[in-house]
Structure 1
Amino acid sequence: MRLAPLALATATLIACSDAGPIAAQNATPTNAAENSTDAAGVPFTVTPVADFDAPWAMTFLPDGRMLVTEKAGQLMLVSADGQTKTSVSGIPAVDSAGQGGLMDVVLHPQFAQNRMVYFSFSETGPGGKGVALARGVMQEGEAPALQNVQVLFRATPYVEGNGHYSGRIAFAPDGQHLFFTNGERQKFTPAQDPKATLGKVLRLTLDGQPAGDPGLREKGFHPAVWSYGHRNLLGIAFDGAGNLWEQEMGPKGGDEVNLILPGRNYGYPLVSDGDHYDNEPVADKNIPNHDTRPDLEKYKVNWTPVISPAGLIVYSGSAFPQWKGDIFIGGLSSQALIRVDVNGTKATKGDQWPMGARIREVEQAPDGTLMLLEDGGRGSQGRMLRLTPAR
């Protein structure tokens, strides 16, 4: 939905973290309710809710409580007001080196009946490291735990390195499938390799069985592959019309929002509106841009300089009715919250609000307010922030 973009010069909102550039001027408050922040012309008020150790993702339980993942491998059960945090046991061993860690967390569509929680994590295995999809049954009480934990799917192949795992999860509107992102692990060519799941959007059954695009299977692709030619996919979500939206980090430039269609090739590393970094072992640092290959699927929105996108939702709440149907993305290097204006299957840049810290995750609360997680950096604190309409 269209909302006139705010000039960044007037968007003086700052929500800093202990890892942020001006933390010494504004330490994390002990009473968040007394330290809400907003600024003239900014359409929301920011209220710190809780602190975490390098948080990565979050999801809401039906009663308003939250599950929050921390990079090192800890799952936290958090009260609706953020004042109480309890560790949830049962997470498998996590390899959290580099960009690895305990990643996404999403509830089964029938969680109220079966209590199933799905999550992703990076691990060490034969051939190196990779990202895995798992689920467990939430058991509460004095010692909350995930029980009967099963690894449902593992990326193929496992390779050396600590980057571009991706690992985002989205359940399909049909309630029978889920979509799982596998990054290309900073190896470039696996994104075009039909046998690998790396650099792909995958479609699976709820039990983790491959259910990819039939046309790609006929061409010899791994049976889970739904689309390919992706880089580092850190956000994926369906809109109310059933369209699947994805965002990914480009190389040196060229961050993208894509409309994911079955069987399509999104081009990486054959094309990108960014270029290879100077220290990468490739012969040609210049990647042809998307316009040179009209046979490949082009992005809907693109950023150069990059925003370093992380986390993605399609907003459906009532707290900010002017943004219903729009995409929200957390910005890492941009230290921003980004809005993308969506009209049907078209998308354009909307607002980019500076937040004073790396934003790892954005979620919609049950009441329609927005919740953010600051990245916090490696092993450092990151805050949970609630965004409500400006007073």
Structure 2
Amino acid sequence: MARTPPVPKRPAKPATPAELRDAIRDEALRLGFDAVGFAPASPTPEARYERLEQLSAFVAHGFQGDMGWLGQRIEERADPTTLWSEARTVVSLAMNYGPLTDPRAVLAQPERAAISVYAQGRDYHEVMKSRLKALGRFIWDTYQHDLKVFVDTAPLMEKPAAQAAGHGWQGKHTNLVSRQFGSWLFLGELLLSVELPFDAPETNHCGQCRACLGACPTRAFPAPYQLDARRCISYLTIEHVGPIDAELRPLLGNRIYGCDDCLAACPWNKFAQGAREAAFVPRAALTAPLLAELATLDDAAFRQRFAGTAIKRIGRDRFIRNVAYALGNSGAPSTALPALVPLLTDTSALVRDAASWAQARLAGSP
């Protein structure tokens, strides 16, 4: 969360609420955002109650796993005005990172790594943050309204805010679905101290479809609109710190960072578009790299290879843990075993454990 510079460049430009809304939307689109929406900062009592109930139930079931912070500041997550009492409007901003091809195609190449679409380009947090700050500076310098910027850095429930602003709805996989962009949107927010005309909230268009639920390799959805993160491959390969449960390791396949299966299965993706932001174009080195080659990375090589990406934040040891599991799932002992041998004596106990498991699994491969 950050504030814009306190000193404006010129006297405030007068504008009606509608004029200010339109100016913010135009500037946001000029800066490269793909969708802009406006919603009340304070949700209705019904919406606030629903958010509290959903998050409280999620935590009560332990679905958050190691992400203990999700059980903290629940009241603040349900109502942005508890974060900043002066907030009157949420400006929800979205950037499209849609892939040009089906990201599940690499799953048929078990000797190569499947990396989530969102992590194949530059770290979206940095891209969004710089654009949001630029938009914030425009608002402050031109109109001098107080504001705060959020990019997944404070207890603000982004997906409900995006739905209230008209971007899409939370699908049965709990992620945002857009009629225009499918499942592929990054989100960020500005809280403004002035009330602007609001966009109509989006309604749910999932109908009877259960494609996303059936696509999950680990059955991480106990029911529609409920996610047990402890079984989610994205959580397991990114957020989970220690060894992954032995029963789940074979289900990871060659997914070493995140999982796109439930997102890619959504029929609304037929309307999706490829990302137009250059920063989100996949790096060649992150598009289906060979697992055996990734297994050779030491800490310095890991940092160099993944500089500027979201992958870097999990660290080398957790990353190589995931690579080792994938090598064990490859069914290709001739290439996987030589890559695993050095990992059996790695300085990291986490890596050694994963390599030992992978070696044993390959011993039973044809």
Aligning the two structures, in what range does the TM-score lie when normalised by the shorter sequence? under 0.3
User: Which structure shows the higher strand fraction?
Assistant: 1
| Structure-1-length-normalised TM-score | 0.23
| Structure-2-length-normalised TM-score | 0.24
Determine which structure has greater relative contact order: mean sequence separation of CA pairs < 8 Å that are 6+ residues apart, divided by chain length. Answer: 2
Q: Which has the larger radius of gyration?
A: 2
